[in-house]
Amino acid sequence: GAGVSQSPSNKVTEKGKDVELRCDPISGHTALYWYRQSLGQGLEFLIYFQGNSAPDKSGLPSDRFSAERTGGSVSTLTIQRTQQEDSAVYLCASSLDLLFMGDTQYFGPGTRLTVL
């Protein structure tokens, strides 16, 4: 079956512009996660959605970052007024239920964002 998909695969933008990154999770997965990996760094948690519950936004680095998940499926991560330090690979993942209860997480191919 189809895995997690993300678009675009690469995005180059100018400092100060807004960008939107899209994630299509595996059908039926209730949990959706956003992470990023900056150059030379580990995987950094950004936000997760679980069903209809309010999202856990505790990992968002600033108020320029926001995310929404429409209809419990597709999610969009928006970065406003991009800065060079936002350059990273942004990964989306989904799981059938909650990871901390032992469910498996499936990752998308990522979006490489470069802010010039």
Partner 1 sequence: ILNVEQSPQSLHVQEGDSTNFTCSFPSSNFYALHWYRWETAKSPEALFVMTLNGDEKKKGRISATLNTKEGYSYLYIKGSQPEDSATYLCAGGNDMRFGAGTRLTVKP
Q: Which residues bind partner 1 (CB under 8 A)?
A: 4, 33, 35, 41-45, 48, 56, 58, 91, 93, 99-110
Taking the complex as a whole, the smallest distance from the CB of residue 81 to partner 1 amounts, in Å, to 27
* Cis amide bond preceding 8, omega within 30: yes
Taking the complex as a whole, the smallest distance from the CB of residue 17 to partner 1 amounts, in Å, to 26
Q: Which is nearer to partner 1, 87 or 95 (CB)?
A: 95
For residue 35, give the nearest of 72, 67, 63 by alpha carbon: 67
Q: Which is nearer to partner 1, 48 or 82 (CB)?
A: 48
Q: Which is nearer to partner 1, 33 or 65 (CB)?
A: 33
Q: Look-up: residue for tokens 């059938």?
A: 96
Taking the complex as a whole, the smallest distance from the CB of residue 104 to partner 1 amounts, in Å, to 5
Q: Under 8 Å CB-to-CB from 62, ≥6 apart: which residues?
A: none
Taking the complex as a whole, the smallest distance from the CB of residue 107 to partner 1 amounts, in Å, to 4
Contact in structure between 10 and 112 (CB atoms under 8 Å): yes
Contact in structure between 65 and 53 (CB atoms under 8 Å): no
